[in-house]
Structure 1
Amino acid sequence: MNASYQFDEVARLPLPGDNCAVAIRPLNAGTVIYYEGHALTLDYTVMEGHRFAVKAIAPGEELLSWELPFGVATLAIQPGQYVINEAVLDALSVRQLDFALPAEPNFTDQIPPYALDEANFQPAPASPAYSDTRTFMGYRRSENRGVGTRNHVVLLGTTSRTGSFVKQLAARLQGELKNYPHIDGIVPAAHTEGGTEKPNNLDLLLRTLAGFMVNPNVGAVLVVDYGIEPVTNKMVEAYSREYNYPIDEVLHKFMSLQGGFEENLAKGEAMVREWLPTVNAMQRTPESISHLKIGLQCGGSDAFSGISANPLLGWISEELVRYGGSASLAETDELIGAEPYVLSKVRNVETARKFMELLERFKERTAWHGSSAEGNPSGGNKYRGLYNIYLKSIGAARKKDPTTRLDYATEYGELMKDGGGFYFMDSPGNDLESIAGQVAAGCNMIFFTTGNGSITNFPYVPTVKVVTTTNRFQLLSNDMDVNAGQYLEGTSMDELGKEVFELTIQIASGQRSVGEKAGHAQVQIWRNWRQNDASQLEKLLHAPAPTGEPIEIQEEGAATASPIQFSFTRQHDGRSSDSIGLILPTSLCAGQVANMITQQLNKQGAGQPVISRYVALAHTEGCGNSGGQAEQLHARTMIGYVTHPMVKHCLLLEHGCEKTHNDYMRHQMDEMGVDASRLGFASIQLDGGITKVTQKVVAWFAGQLAADGEAEKETVGLEGLRIGIMSDGPISDEAGEQLAKLTKMVAGAGGLVVVPENSGLLSTAAYRNPIFATSNVRPSIAYGEHVRCNGFHIMETPTEHWVETVTGLAATGVEIMIALVGNRPMQTHPFVPMLQIASEPAMLQNYDNDLDLLLMGDANAWTEQILKRIKQTIEHAYTPRLYQQGNVDFQLTRGFLGVSL
């Protein structure tokens, strides 16, 4: 017998004029629903958050939610029929579902484009201001900087090259906090940007870094560079002064790293320690809430985001603006389709025009990369009922209350003005990239709505997380601050709004948010985009794929094989130099949780000596970036690590709402013929939050270790080596010749040698001429591709970035990397050892404690010296120096066509 319900028991209609309803729980096919005196029978199982028709919709007629169109019917749709488009059918096809889906879509994603009618534009009045004010306990800075809700010491890397330095420096100083109770934290702000020549996001990056420095939550800031990057301290300071950022009104220093890594850490530590008494002396005082500037964000959105959580933020924002405060709406591509709503009340036509210009600019930029801004919704969004960008945008725009006037449309990171108001700030839909812009603009609190339960936090601005449904709040109660699902169950928006507004004042006054208690945070600035027009698009879209076959090398002049033997362990029907327990986050939002779990496992010594150590590969991709080539590149590289010979056991950790979720990765592995049966899978959101997913991951590794047998040792010659060779800076003829000799010895013996395409070695005659039989040599493997046939390979490298190159190179399956450095030692890999070698005496003077081998004397002996160091490293008698010191980083490239969405 089919179940039957009254409409309000199982569904919601966002506004009375809608012709599609949202299921608030899963509803089986055949369910009968009584709506406005009629009985509707569902033709298919409707997932929670998905839609079904409540009125007859003819072909060509618009589908409506919030009384705005999100698509056009392609078939006649009767009341009770599941409403679904092609994108959702595709997204659900890779999920493991136990019910049938419709055979074909019944609507298409198409709405009429919005045009701003400037001739008939009418400026809107602001909402009436409150005559009184309320106060919170904040940190009063200078008049130009405003009032902070927190008091942090921030360690800011100017570019990605100093990211690992500021992380290590912050770690060294954490023990000091117990002596300084009025300092909320000593935190690193490490990011991915500024590490390549002539970045297209240069102005944006400088504006963001300047804004990071003067944010009112900063008590002191140390800004760190090497002085040779494409973006330097001098450039940040010059930009700040040119555009009147009040950097002299915040305690700060600019530090350029010179000499060894450990030496610089000691210098940085001394600088920060001098500040701590001064920063600790800063006290909270009663301040008007007109000084609150809140950033409005949504992530892991679902069909209820626009019904409960986002309207709640709209209520909070309207209330704050009437008290003289400020609120910032962002995520440009997540407002496409919602233009009529956003621009229904605007301060002036200039603001409306700027808003439309920012949308058009965003669309143009994504088109240069072969993508569409309308392609923003992630697999998690679609799974939870956001079928397309129009539906997502209409709900996202509800963070602006219908009564609120849009006062300003601003650039990413542009400083907010005095006097309060409601802002729109240009940014991608990528949560972390968007939040960074709001922090740079001056926001001292972030409000983050989520349907799936996103756990995003920023290091020095408190994040208040608002979840859309009670069920999801109960599942993730340790990681969420507010249950907006109460509105779905009958609590009025006014009642809920007043309750959350009081919480806002408490958190602004120092009460820690749930995210702050969890102790993890991430920073990501709007990532650089590679194209500034479409001139290269067709060429890049149709570039030939590498064959995967080894490159033929010259036999003439082949070097005599070395007698050195290497000890390996048998693992997964092969040999390996190490046994890593790998936690592989499928997207950026799972990265910090993966780090926390590996720290716990390593501290416990779990599985030793079978597992030498646990590693998490936290990165910045998998959500909010374009699909196509960039998504394929991401999946291919991840699978390269899944199949890496050094990985004993591997678990994939998803956030739960990303594009590259666990089911997506399973599907990609199936397509590539990779056996996923030995892997573990866990989900931060679906497994119940950070604490519960940690327990699950720890238990999974324990189960795998319990089933392991005793490891067997095997001794082999050069044929057992898998090495990557790369270079940075000048290459002497002697170094080129000896690395060519090493390459021919290993590849000729049956081992593996991989050189990245962007290495200067390949254009150096001393290396190139002895190796290549022909002048026309193309890459044999793609970036991050697992090598299936030993020999000599060149890896495609659609990046100039050192760490991105290392990340792709390690994924090919190499077990040790030789880095010839001519400028300065660079960041190392989280688990594949990197030996940093140099042949210039000046390098020894400056970096003696960072280099692993200085090639001096008779050049003919260099190859044997390198092999001996390789043997010591593979057999764990030697650990590369910069790895020991913590100069470690990991970063995926987006290639030529990746762009933030």
Structure 2
Amino acid sequence: MKNKAIRLHPRDNVGVALSNLENLEAILVDGEKYTVTHAIPAKHKFALKELSTGSEILMYGVTIGEATQPISKGEPITLTNIRHKASPYSLSYGQYEWNPLPSLDKSFMGYLREDGQVGTANYWLVFPLVFCENQNIQTLQEAFEIALGKKKVNPYVDLILSEIHSVDFSEKIQSTPKSSGLNTTFENIDDVRFITHQLGCGGTRRDAQTLCRLLAGYVNHPNVAGATVLSLGCQNAEFRLLEERLNEIQWDAKKPLIHCDQQDLGTTKALLQFAIKKTVEGLKSANQVKRSLQPISKLVIGLECGGSDGFSGISANPVLGRVSDLVISNNGSAILSEFPELCGAEQNLINRCKEKETAEKFIHLMKTYDADAKAVGSGFDMNPSPGNIKDGLLTDAMKSLGAAKKGGLAPVADVLDYTEYIQRPGLNLLCTPGNDVESTTGLASAGANIILFTTGLGTPTGNPICPVIKVSSNDAVADKMPDIIDFSTGGVISGEKSVEECGDELLDLVLQVASGEIKTKAELNRNFDFIPWKRGVSL
């Protein structure tokens, strides 16, 4: 018989409804009988004992809130009777013991770069250093997509016409783009990818420097063969800043980097002709690289969540933790992002740090970020979105303890600030906001060559240079959004599968995507999102 509710840790004083519970319904949790005092929707929580005002609310064995009024046994936990509270944390390191998982005889077909990194795709990247060049980027994008067979006819044109003329054109709507003609010309190039943004001038010098550092990570990324860069010539985000950062992070080989300066070249036509000529030359060179058999140790998995629900911390996020531990046990790397969504999980992560300096850096970044957020009238406690709250994630600590499950159990090898590039194999913590696109943008810049993205509510987010695999926490959203979700962990909620079984299956999908055998839904829908983080402003 399927469990209707669960206690996640022996210390917890709240349970989680796995299905809708009726008013006065009797249920069993760990063999003890409870009667719920109100109807409780699936994913929401209820008290497992009498709680007085000020009592700490415990989930995952730690504090996720405190009671603002007495709560009776079986009563729903809501924003009317609890508020955010997180456990304090302090410095510790080097005492954590972990037994790696068994080695796997698995591999993937990737693009080996001269610097030793391995790409899961082979892209040529085109981007501006300043928003003034966005229109020229869009012109280049349209020209290349038509020439290389990537141009997608907007499937909703016929729908508009049907509304205007009252004629049914609905059957003509297509959910995915037509097959590409790119590989008939450049058989080893997966795509030419284009980025636009609203930064590069005005704003602060810090924003311009951050943008150049971020874009340098994209150029250095193993999925990128080379890049074409457009600049106006007078912007704050100077080309020299991009070059300086590349010199810091590029190792043994320099990638082709084509600089097109409009004020130097003159007319728009001259700029675009130069950019096209040099880019095609770059594509011909990049086409010489072919996929080859590569070990799991060359995987760098980005760990992300967005549109989370009350099941995310029970199914999808622990499944990602399993994949992370499998990859790290085989000498690969994983990057856990979204620092506002680690609030309450700090002590566990600090305890797992291998070195004192790593733990100190994590504490410094967490405290600085929280202080910056409070300085603009916010704070980590304001992270949960209306959608999170509606689906059972009431406080930031409640959300964070579930989100941290993506990082598995491996020791923390390194802590990276935003725009820093991965240097050490193992589990890395990357300071990004909880904002989905700002965070995935940062994960790609840090060197993640594939991103696993959990969601309970559904989101189309993708990335220009890094395949994004959407993992749902429940079957309902996977069934409702099959054009967005790549993999469902709903079997964990129903009891049909274990976290370990789902994790092993997901790793097989990761290797297929990394080999180019399967395209993610975000790739098929061409969801290529890029938003740099303006620090202190976003959670």
Cα gap change, 1:347/1:19 in structure 2, threshold over 3 Å: closer, same or farther?
same
Provide the C-alpha distance between the structure 2 equivalents of 1:278 and 1:126, rounded to a whole number of angstroms: 45
Distance 1:156 1:358 in 2: 29
Of 358, 363, 369, the match for 1:362: 369
Return the letter of the residue paired with 1:527. K
Correspondence 1:451 to 2:430: no
> Quick one: which of 115, 123, 130 aligns to 1:152?
123
Distance of 1:112 and 1:496 partners within structure 2: 31
Choose which of 172, 175, 186 in structure 2 pairs with 1:180. 186
Q: Which of 50, 56, 65 matches 1:71? A: 65
Tell me if structure 2 keeps the 8 A contact 1:157–1:224: yes
Question: 1:141 pairs with 107, 113, 117, which one?
Answer: 113
Identify the match of residue 202 of structure 2 among 178, 196, 199: 196
* Number of the residue aligned with 2:447: 442
**Is 1:900 aligned with 2:534?**
no
Q: What does 1:84-163 align with in structure 2 at a 5 Å threshold? A: 84-85=78-79, 105-116=80-91, 118=92, 121-125=93-97, 127-128=99-100, 134-143=106-115, 146-163=117-134
Counterpart in 1 of 2:383? Answer: 376
User: What is the percent sequence identity of the aligned residues?
Assistant: 31
Q: Deviations over 1:45-86 (max 9, x none)?
A: 32332111122223322111111111112322222101112x
Question: Which residues in structure 2 correspond to 1:743-892 (within 5 Å)?
Answer: none
1:18 and 2:12 correspond: yes
What stretches of structure 1 of length at least 5 have no aligned partner?
1-5, 86-104, 530-898
CA distance in 2, matches of 1:504, 1:229: 40
Q: Would you say the 8 A contact 1:123–1:345 is kept in 2?
A: yes
Q: What residue number does 2:169 align with? A: none
Structure 2 partner of 1:342: 349
Deviation (angstroms), 1:327: 0.1
The SS at the match of 2:301 is: strand
Determine whether 1:497 maps to 2:503: yes
2-structure distance, mates of 1:395, 1:122: 24
Matches within 5 A, 1:327-476: 327-401=334-408, 403-418=409-424, 420-476=425-481
Q: Is the 8 A contact 1:433 1:526 kept in 2?
A: yes
Structure 1 pair 262/388, CA: closer, same or farther in 2 (3 Å)?
farther
Corresponding position of 1:861: none
The 3-state SS of whatever aligns with 1:220 is strand
Which structure 2 residues correspond to residues 663-812 of structure 1 after superposition, within 5 A?
Answer: none
CA distance in 1, matches of 2:521, 2:502: 19
In structure 2, the residue matched to 1:885 is none
Deviation per residue, 1:88-131 (Å, 9 max, x gap): xxxxxxxxxxxxxxxxx222322342222x4xx44335644766
Q: Does the residue aligned with 1:186 lie in a helix, a strand or coil?
A: strand
Distance 2:317 2:21 in 1: 25
- Give the structure 2 partner of residue 880 of structure 1: none
- The SS at the match of 1:437 is helix
Structure 1 partner of 2:308: 301
Equivalents in 2 of 1:256, 1:78: separation in Å?
A: 68
What's the CA shift string for 1:361-415, capped at 9, x where partnerless? 10111122122132111111111111011101101110122x3111111111211
CA drift at 1:456: 0.8
Which residue of 312, 318, 341 corresponds with 1:311?
318
Q: Is the 8 A contact 1:63 1:70 kept in 2?
A: yes
Matched position secondary structure for 2:412: coil
CA distance in 2, matches of 1:27, 1:131: 43
Q: CA deviation at 1:39?
A: 4.6
Corresponding letter in the other structure for 1:41: T
Q: Residues 176 and 202 from structure 1, CA distance in 2 versus in 1: closer, same or farther, beyond 3 angstroms?
A: same
Q: Which amino acid aligns with 2:73?
A: P
Q: Which residue of 1 is the match for residue 212 of structure 2? A: 206
Does the CA-based 8 Å contact 2:321-2:407 persist in structure 1? yes
Alignment of 1:229-628 (within 5 A): 229-241=235-247, 243-246=248-251, 249-258=254-263, 259-401=266-408, 403-418=409-424, 420-490=425-495, 491-510=497-516, 511-527=518-534
Which letter maps to 2:457? N
The residue type equivalent to 1:460 in the other structure is I
Deviation, 1:41, is: 3.3
Distance in 1 (alpha carbons) for counterparts of 2:522 and 2:369: 31
Q: Secondary structure at the match of 1:223?
A: strand
> Deviation at 1:132?
6.6
8 Å CA contact retained: 1:129, 1:324: no
Which residue identity does 1:13 align to in structure 2? R
Contact kept? 1:338, 1:393, Cα under 8 Å: yes
CA distance in 1, matches of 2:343, 2:535: 22
Give the aligned partner of residue 229 of structure 2. 223
SS in 1 for 2:314: helix
Q: What residue identity is the alignment partner of 1:81?
A: E
For structure 2, list consecutive stretches of 5 or more residues without a partner in the other structure: 149-180
Question: Aligned with 1:269: secondary structure?
Answer: helix
The alignment partner of 1:82 has SS state of coil
Indicate the SS of the match to 1:416.
Answer: coil
TM value normalised by structure 1: 0.53
CA contact 1:302–1:450 (8 Å) conserved in 2: yes
CA contact (8 A) 2:129 2:238 kept: yes
Q: Output one character per residue of 1:209-238: Cα deviation in whole Å (capped at 9) or x when no partner.
A: 111111010122101111111112122113
- Residue 306 of structure 1 aligns to a residue whose secondary structure is coil
Q: What is the match of residue 668 of structure 1?
A: none
Structure 1 residue 523: Cα displacement: 0.6
For 1:187 and 1:122, how far apart are their aligned partners in 2?
42
1:422 Cα deviation (Å)? 0.5
Partner of 2:174: none
